Amino acid sequence: MPPKQRRGQGDGSIHRRKNGTWAGILELPPDPTTGRRRRKSVYGKTRNEIVKKLRAVRADLDKSGDLPTSNPRLSAWLETWDKRHLSTLKPRSADSARGIIRTYINPVLGRVTLDKITPAHVHKLHDYVIDDLGLSTSTANGAHRILRKALGDAERYGQVTRNVATLVPPPPLAVAKRKALTASEAKRLLRHHSGDPHLSLRLAVAFLTGMRQGEALGLTWDAIDLERKVITVEWQMQGLESVHGCDSDAPCSFKTAARCPYRKFDYPAGHEIEQVRGVLHMLRPKSRKGWREVPIAPQLHAALTMYAKGYKRSHERNLVFVRADGHPLPPKQDWEQWKAALKDAGLPDVPLHSARHTTATLLFELGVPEQTRMAILGHSSGTVTQGYTHIADSETRSAMDALGGLLEG
């Protein structure tokens, strides 16, 4: 009988435990400092589950060259998770998640090891956000979602046997009535500023397209087809945070990265991002469903035509909304202009994003079908399967024409 061959390093082994669950062990490279043998263990309910987890661990080992062997604290795992997951998200989404981790999750659960986290800890996180900090259930819901995703990936990598955050219902989202201008108020705002071609066009785009602020500020003349009467929403303008680019061994004298002479931006892989000026960048919409065509209402078509002939400001990227000095319009300045426009017209102080809600509400009141409203506003839809959605059909054109008539001065 031939001798039994030993498993090679990296092959792993699987066995059933006394309590009926299964365990897998993967041999890791020796400790680089001591040369001691190291192993990585994963656990699960079935053998097939262990096989899948070992494959995932092997893939991660091949990618990174090493893996932690001890059960880390949640804060340590979240740092690893940041590099694996958050770094692949769009900058704003990643920064939002990091803020939630830093402000809510780590102060309560950061020192707890992954294998010791229980449903009671999840409830403790909810209580901390809602009761101790006095914040909304929506904020606690966001913290719950981040924890659930991080623990879900920990389970997938074999760090924990189950995701306890799935055992606890998330806090309910708070129902808040969004403030938005009525049709008569929007008409009043447009009429009040009709003498300012730059501001009036910005307001018309806000109310007659339903575009988000970043989408409007990232709008280029190349995306406007006045002959077909269609606007293609394909970019959005955002201000991104920079990081220090100086050598850590010889850091600059400035505390903030914004003043570092060697500052840089960490762009996530797989995202199309182009720097416009300073922190301002052009990014593709947050999802492929955000790419869409919006019909141009007759009133907006007239405003765009007049603006292009007599008031258009030149810019190397052919941006529509450009300051008098030739630079792109920053989101903060755009927001300030909105606030001032409302005040000058004697209208209530509502957020700039409320212009989208005004558009959505008016389309609803006009009886526009939900799927058409979702397509115009760039909301996700279960019926949309193509990566790029063309919605400039007769139904959406009729909807935008009716909206334009409602807001006509």
The whole-angstrom separation of Cα 209 and Cα 232 is: 11
pTM over 0.75: no
The whole-number pLDDT of residue 90 equals 79
The whole-number pLDDT of residue 140 equals 93
The whole-angstrom separation of Cα 272 and Cα 246 is: 25
Q: At what angle do helices 197-209 and 331-344 cross, to 10 degrees?
A: 100
Phi and psi at residue 208, to the nearest 5°: -105, 5
Token pair recorded at residue 48: 């097939």
Token pair recorded at residue 301: 């078509």
Domain residue spans in the chain?
A: 13-64, 74-167, 183-236+286-406, 241-278
Q: Cα–Cα distances in Å, from 173 out to 44, 145, 149? A: 33, 12, 18
Topology given in CATH for the domain delimited by 74-167: DNA polymerase; domain 1 (1.10.150)
The whole-number pLDDT of residue 360 equals 83
CB atoms within 10 A of CB 408: 12
* Superfamily of 183-236+286-406 according to CATH: Intergrase catalytic core (1.10.443.10)
The whole-number pLDDT of residue 122 equals 95
The whole-number pLDDT of residue 36 equals 72
CB atoms within 10 A of CB 132: 11
Helices (H), 101-165: 106-109, 119-127, 137-156
The whole-number pLDDT of residue 308 equals 92
Q: Give the pLDDT means over successive 10-residue stretches in the chain (409 positions).
A: 42 82 82 66 88 82 56 88 84 88 95 91 94 90 95 84 91 75 89 93 91 93 92 89 81 84 81 88 70 86 92 91 93 95 93 87 78 73 33 66 74
End-to-end CA distance of the chain: 95
